[in-house]
Structure 1
Amino acid sequence: MPPTPEDASGLALARLVPGLGDTVDLPGGTAWEPKWDGMRLLALADGPRTLLRSRHGGDLTRDFPEVTRAVAAQVPAGTVLDGELVVRRSGRVDYGALQRRASSADPAALAAHLPAGFVVFDVIQRAHVDLRPRPFIERRIALEELAAGWAEPLSTSPLTGDVDLAARWFRDLAGLGVDGLVAKGLDQPYRPGTRDWRKVKHRTAVDLVATAVTGSVAQPGALLLALPVDGELVPVGRSASIGLSAGIALGRQVVPLGGAPSSAIATRIAPLVVEVSADVPWSGGVLARPAQFLRARPELHPVEVVEPDALLVGC
């Protein structure tokens, strides 16, 4: 069985590119699928010993029992699936609802109110055979064979080799909780830790790294923001004031750095990836004004944050 990843180096990844035109001509031809606004998940099927792992190796098996049961019942032992954990509400994927469940003191207790689904886009092991060296098209065929009898909460991510349909997906699915497209070469193997895939995102938000909070750690008033540059987190500005309810929710994600020097107005925290509104201009490599905080993305690693010039997307 492929080792459970302890961090993102165990998963194949995608490199952010400016537009759809930058995703064509991948090895063997390009196929596109929606980029779901959820949490990356590996499912290791083994009957009653089935495990769910986050992209950083966290154990989610008991937190999402409905997904664990479905994988155990519907997926043959010796299979490892890669996909996205999502919560759907009112016909759309709702990342905020998923985050509320994941950050709850008892996530499993919310299963009836906020049921999760597992949208699978790759199979990296089948019948105890490692499929990662195989081309993506072979892995996709294997996935569709496995999924022939699946029922909710398991599903497969749609896939197309038609660039015009991909462009329509990019345009039309934005309101359904799909924040872009992922492109894969049909001949590409699954290479952990590499960014062989490509992704195009809607430019509504920018990922930055929060390095400190003002006010209470339990209810931050604002964030000090940075970008990774040559292995260092370089300050680029701050967020605007965070509202009461958003601050309380954010406080559950914040980890203060014990012993770290703090100022009278700010407390240093473990680097936390956050989304801020993309409508703030940049000047001289820093934010021209405070950015609106949108949400925390604790499932992402700071090294995955890219410079904002790379976030200009379009079709």
Structure 2
Amino acid sequence: MDLPVMPPVRPMLAKSVQGIPDPEKLGGLSFEPKWDGFRCLVFKDGDEVELASRNTKPLTRYFPEVVAAMREQLPERCVLDGELFVALGDRLEFEVLQERIHPAKSRIEMLAEKTPASYVAFDLLALDEESYADRPFAERRAALAQALGHLDGPCFLTRTTTDPAQAEEWFHQFEGAGLDGVVAKPLGATYQPNARTMLKIKHERTADVVVAGYREHKTSTPERPLLGSLLLGLYNGDGQLQHVGVSASFTEKRRAELIEELQPLVVPIEDHPWGHWEEFLTANPDRIPGTQSRWSQGKDLSFTPLRPERVLEVAYDHMEGRRFRHTAQFRRWRPDRDPESCGYDQLDEPVSYDLASVLRVDQEG
């Protein structure tokens, strides 16, 4: 394989915002639906096709039917950014898509036939002998539309609009189809790998967090262990895993399933990122799991540490300092995410604020 843009490439990322942004204030925007699937970069050189996830891991073996379609439908030589998805009827089904990440070739082949996946392209990094990565999105989109405008599945070209009113309509209209909101891309921006230069407007405020441990439920017994809550973390700018809150509110059946599912990740506290916090005996600024505060004295705050390898998408309402203000709601596992990529920069609310600026009074007012 010899292309103008070669793997590995980390895709361009998006930051959450509330509401459809004003294109005039940002120098022009292109809006498109936010697809609910696996982010996927495609590298195609003749019959050679490689699919790579957002963390550069290979996806090719899991989607043989998509690879076959790309050989037939895509330009001879290209590098695309887009999304793999599974649609059942008129809805996208993320949980069905997750089933494809399986070690058994026979199961992958069965699912490829039973619940075939599709691919939707929404950006162009290279075409034929030319790299488009350094060109503004307006040019990339025009070339992409010319190259892929004829597709009718299983490879597709995403819809776009520069009309914010149309984007607002899409935001509400497409939710019923299982889409995740709307993405806005600056028309003049180049393709910037692993940078949050796009904007995403989602139907609820969500975050991808690292599962770092769990506490047992108050009704848990040695004969029937039950999970009470999951301890969640985000990486700060220094690469430290910060405790940001918990996810709870599971059925009894789910509590039993989760605690069994997480057992392979159990690790001694001294091998855990939070192991050095054992020395704390009183309140501390990060409200570290297992330590006491004036509100929790006498409560058992011990937890079972887990290797920070699993990523979970949670819904939350607000931030309070560096933590979720209330219990976060379990949404789904994200096997396509690297734990190290789960940082504070994805949040659409500031994780801290300047109290002085809040209290400041305009002297002329």
Q: TM-score range by the shorter chain?
A: 0.7 to 0.9
Runs of 5+ in structure 1 lacking a partner?
Answer: none
Select which of 221, 229, 240 maps to 2:248: 240
Q: Does 1:196 align with 2:233?
A: no
Report if the CA contact (8 A) 1:227-1:307 is conserved: no
Report if the CA contact (8 A) 1:214-1:267 is conserved: no
Equivalent in the alignment of 1:20? 20
CA distance in 2, matches of 1:77, 1:250: 48
SS in 1 for 2:146: helix
Equivalent in the alignment of 2:136? 135
The change in CA–CA distance for 1:257 and 1:302 in structure 2 (over 3 A counts) is farther
CA distance in 2, matches of 1:57, 1:68: 17
Report if the CA contact (8 A) 1:276-1:295 is conserved: yes
Equivalent in the alignment of 1:148? 149
SS in 2 for 1:234: strand
Q: Does 1:256 align with 2:262?
A: no
Q: Does 1:276 align with 2:314?
A: yes
Q: Which has the higher contact order (CA 8 A, sep 6+)?
A: 1
User: Kindly, what percent of the aligned residue pairs are identical?
Assistant: 33
SS in 1 for 2:18: coil
Equivalent in the alignment of 1:117? 118
Aligned letter for 1:127? D
Runs of 5+ in structure 2 lacking a partner?
Answer: 217-224, 276-289, 291-301, 352-365
Shift of 1:67: 0.8
Report if the CA contact (8 A) 1:180-1:200 is conserved: yes
Equivalent in the alignment of 2:237? 230
Report if the CA contact (8 A) 1:210-1:274 is conserved: yes
Equivalent in the alignment of 2:354? none
Larger Rg: 2
SS in 2 for 1:190: coil
Report if the CA contact (8 A) 1:213-1:266 is conserved: yes
CA distance in 2, matches of 1:94, 1:247: 25
**Paired residues, what number?**
304
CA distance in 2, matches of 1:302, 1:257: 20
Q: Does 1:75 align with 2:115?
A: no
CA distance in 1, matches of 2:95, 2:158: 20
CA distance in 2, matches of 1:250, 1:66: 35
Aligned letter for 1:161? T
Q: Does 1:309 align with 2:352?
A: no
Select which of 305, 320, 328 maps to 1:267: 305
Shift of 1:113: 1.8
CA distance in 2, matches of 1:64, 1:109: 11
Report if the CA contact (8 A) 2:43-2:49 is conserved: yes
Shift of 1:92: 1.1
Report if the CA contact (8 A) 1:256-1:269 is conserved: yes
| 1:122-171 alpha-carbon deviations (Å, 9 max, x no partner) | 11100031111112121112111211332311001110011100011112
Moved more, 202-211 or 246-255: 246-255
Report if the CA contact (8 A) 1:123-1:143 is conserved: yes
Q: TM-score, normalised by structure 1?
A: 0.83
Aligned letter for 2:174? L
Report if the CA contact (8 A) 1:208-1:225 is conserved: yes
| 1:234-253 alpha-carbon deviations (Å, 9 max, x no partner) | 21322215454697589779
Equivalent in the alignment of 2:361? none
Report if the CA contact (8 A) 2:234-2:343 is conserved: no
The change in CA–CA distance for 1:247 and 1:205 in structure 2 (over 3 A counts) is farther
Report if the CA contact (8 A) 1:38-1:84 is conserved: yes
Equivalent in the alignment of 1:94? 93
| 1:174-215 alpha-carbon deviations (Å, 9 max, x no partner) | 121111111112222112222222111112544332112457
CA distance in 2, matches of 1:42, 1:251: 34
Report if the CA contact (8 A) 2:207-2:346 is conserved: no
Q: TM-score, normalised by structure 2?
A: 0.73
Aligned letter for 1:224? L
Shift of 1:37: 0.9
CA distance in 2, matches of 1:250, 1:36: 31
The change in CA–CA distance for 1:46 and 1:228 in structure 2 (over 3 A counts) is same
CA distance in 1, matches of 2:231, 2:21: 35
CA distance in 1, matches of 2:91, 2:350: 27
Shift of 1:3: 2.6
Aligned letter for 2:246? R
CA distance in 2, matches of 1:209, 1:194: 20
CA distance in 2, matches of 1:255, 1:247: 15
Q: CA RMSD in A?
A: 3.1
CA distance in 2, matches of 1:56, 1:180: 22
